[in-house]
Structure 1
Amino acid sequence: MRAAPQQPRTNGGRSTSRFALGVLFVALYVVLSAAGEVYAASYFQQADLFVALLVSFAAVCLSFNLLAGHGTGKARVTKPALVAFVSLNLVTAVSWIGLFVGLKYAEPAIVVAFMVAIGPAATVWLNALIRRKGIPPATDIVVSVTIAMIGGYMIWISVSGNAGVQWGPQSSFGIVLAIVAGLSLALTNILVKLLFDCGFSGRQVLAHRFYGTIFLLLGLVDYSSIVLEISQHWPAIAAIGLSTIIVPLLLIQEGIRRVEPFTVNMVLSTAPVITFLFQYFDSRIVPSLHTFIGNVLITIVAVGNVYSQYRRTA
């Protein structure tokens, strides 16, 4: 008896597989970076923040430049691509340094919540403006505004003293940096996607996006403490670099390659609740029901929208 001929895979099947794989890469990024950020927040309480970041990003930049040397990408460096690379260096510096300084002065789950709350709304309009994608769907606008409103609730949690970390004189500084980092992160995802559209490989983008971060840290670091900090805390610095920068960036760039920036931001919106769960391993943070409720609300909206986009792709 002859077997029935195998049906060729449809474009719809390839699209849904690509979408699902892209979401998986971003989800893995969320879990790994959440664990790393909680650990970094605890470490930064007694360590030199800028020395740790300078060493980490210098190692990251060197590693990715070595990897890029073995790549096969042959994209031409046009004027738009050069502008995108310069812009990417600037917003990368703001988003990463803003994130880590924010983690030092505020509850990690709330810092991450601010970043993801502002991201979808910013992505909707920046994507339309920069990549010429036209007016976004009404559902994306509604979802982004809803998440931004939940972010407003998270601000009230912090200011009213209901967060897991006591509100201090520098907490507002940490919150402002988290919001700025969220805007920068949204722009970062779009610029990376734009460079992919121009034909650059993930290795090339990673190799050349941290120069601005390193130059900024060189202006902030205390040079007299570099040798002492490295000699005493090099295992912790290496762990932070691997868990919050190197491996997560490799994961999220594979996600950005396969799905649109708005989808990336929706998956990133699940990060606060994951970060909240990892906070149980940090004894200085008291579990806050208010923070948990805000994180869960953001996650429900985000997961619902990702599922809706998956159905739309199928």
Structure 2
Amino acid sequence: MTFQTKRGPPRSKDDSLGIDAQACFGEGAAPRRRQGTGGRLTRRFALGILFVALYVVLSAAGEVYAASYFQRADAFVALLVSFAAVCLTFNLLAGHKRRTAPVAKSALLVFVSLNVVTAISWIGLFIGLKYAEPAIVVAFMVALGPAATVWLNALIRRQGVPPASDIIVSVTIAIIGSYMIWISATGNAGVEWGARSSFGIVLAIVAGLSLALTNILVKLLFDRGFSGRQVLAHRFYGTILLLLALVDHSSIVLEISQHWLAIATIGLSTIIVPLLLFQEGIRRVEPFTVNMVLSTAPVITFLFQYFDSRIVPSPHTFVGNVLITAVAVGNVYLQYRRST
């Protein structure tokens, strides 16, 4: 596996958002230059938030549609075709950035790890959508994400002990996630609790933890100079291999011929376009901030559920979604204040 990447001069350890720390804080720097750098940092943060927010809206609509589709069709076939198309698309987009120099062993290990956790997070999400209410599945993922990201970011990227406010917010969101478990188990969700509902919840929890690790690994590759297109081109091999092991090969051709439009819609609305938006967002802001914006996804997903006739609007689900969103938005504001 080869890549082409432009590497600039070594950056300071304080350069967590891709801005040269010496340009901001070096001795003899003119006040106007420091002010200009601060403005660029603020714009970078705001643009990153915008990209992730667009990702949340588009993927929420796609996930509700996918959950409805998976009730009547083979989910594994749809996902296999979608991810194969995604892998091909991003390899073509990244084709002109290849190079002959070999990838460092440490970067190769990161890519292998990214393939594993990507497979777990995406397949866990989609199968969870089949057996549980989409707004609750998404809530489990984003409730666990911030809490896990705080400590994974500190351990893997060696960012040090996270601020107390980040820890408090993460614990709060995790507590609200526990409330969502109670909603599902007591039959107060929008979808009736069935024999496989607990399986869907477990998959959502596993997917949430995997998603947090995915964000860290993607950021590590960005820190090492890889582009977003390069990362997207080589992160889905593990997902495709796992789906090949799970799918009924005899039904692939029939499923595609009958549901090709729905499969294409799922691939575009939940994977290809959202991932392009997400990669541009995570390039500009730190993983914890990304998870805070992702925490608004449950309430957005809840609103899109009104277009799915099989889901009964649940006030309990809505309250849990709103609580998570309120805490998340408040913390994004704190992150924004820090960046300025």
Short-chain TM bin:
over 0.9
Provide Cα deviations, 1:241-292, integer angstroms capped at 9, x if missing partner: 0000000000000011000000000000000000000000000000000000
Say whether residues 1:210 and 2:239 are aligned partners: no
Q: Give the structure-1-normalised TM-score.
A: 0.96
Task: Output the CA distance in 2 between the equivalents of 1:294 and 1:71.
Answer: 44
* 2:157 counterpart (131, 143, 150): 131
Q: Distance in 1 between matches of 2:331 and 2:149?
A: 15
Deviation, 1:179, is 0.2
Match of 2:293 among 251, 263, 267: 267
Look up the SS of the partner of 2:96 in the other structure.
coil
The answer as to 2:317 corresponding to 1:281 is no
- Show the 5 A alignment for 1:26-175: 26-71=52-97, 77-175=103-201
Q: How far apart are 1:9 and its partner, in Å? A: 5.5
Residue 8 of structure 2: aligned partner: none
Instruction: Work out the CA distance in 2 between the residues paired with 1:238 and 1:89.
Output: 23
1:73: how far off? 7.7
SS, match of residue 168 in structure 1: coil
- Taking the aligned partners of 2:285 and 2:73, their CA distance within structure 1 comes to 38
What is the deviation of 1:78? 1.1
Q: Counterparts of 1:172 and 1:43 in 2: how far apart (Å)?
A: 20
**Correspondence list, 1:300-311, <5 A:** 300-311=326-337
Counterpart of 2:44 in structure 1 is 18
Using the TM superposition, give the Cα deviation of residue 77 of structure 1 relative to its aligned residue in structure 2, in angstroms. Answer: 1.5
CA RMSD of superposed structures (Å): 1.4
User: Within 1, Cα distance between the matches of 2:201 and 2:308?
Assistant: 20
Q: For 1:106-154, what per-residue CA distance to the aligned partner results, in whole angstroms no more than 9, with x for missing partners?
A: 0000000000000000000000111111100000000000000000000
Deviation, 1:224, is 0.8
Q: Specify the alignment match of 1:290 in structure 2.
A: 316
Secondary structure of 1:98's counterpart equals helix
C-alpha displacement of 1:12: 1.2
C-alpha spacing 1:157/1:62, structure 2 compared with 1 (3 Å) = same
What TM-score does the superposition give when structure 2 sets the normalisation length? 0.89
Q: Secondary structure at the match of 1:164?
A: coil
Distance 2:35 2:235 in 1: 37
Partner of 1:231: 257
Distance in structure 1 (CA, Å) of the matches to 2:102 and 2:143: 35
Deviation at 1:8, TM superposition (A): 8.8
CA distance in 2, matches of 1:35, 1:147: 23
Aligned counterpart, 1:3: none
**% same residue:** 84
Kept in 2: contact 1:34–1:278 (CA 8 A):
yes
Structure 1 gap ranges (5+):
1-5
1:231 counterpart letter in structure 2: S
Instruction: Return closer, same or farther for 1:171/1:301 CA change in 2, 3 Å cut-off.
Output: same
Q: Secondary structure at the match of 1:274?
A: helix
Within a 5 Å distance, the mapping from 1:217-256 to structure 2 comes to 217-256=243-282
SS state of the match for residue 167, structure 1? Answer: coil
Q: Distance in 2 between matches of 1:28 and 1:281?
A: 19
Counterpart amino acid of residue 304 in structure 1: G
Runs of 4+ residues over 2 Å off in structure 1: 6-9, 70-76
Gaps of 5+ in 2: 1-31
Q: Distance in 2 between matches of 1:194 and 1:99?
A: 23
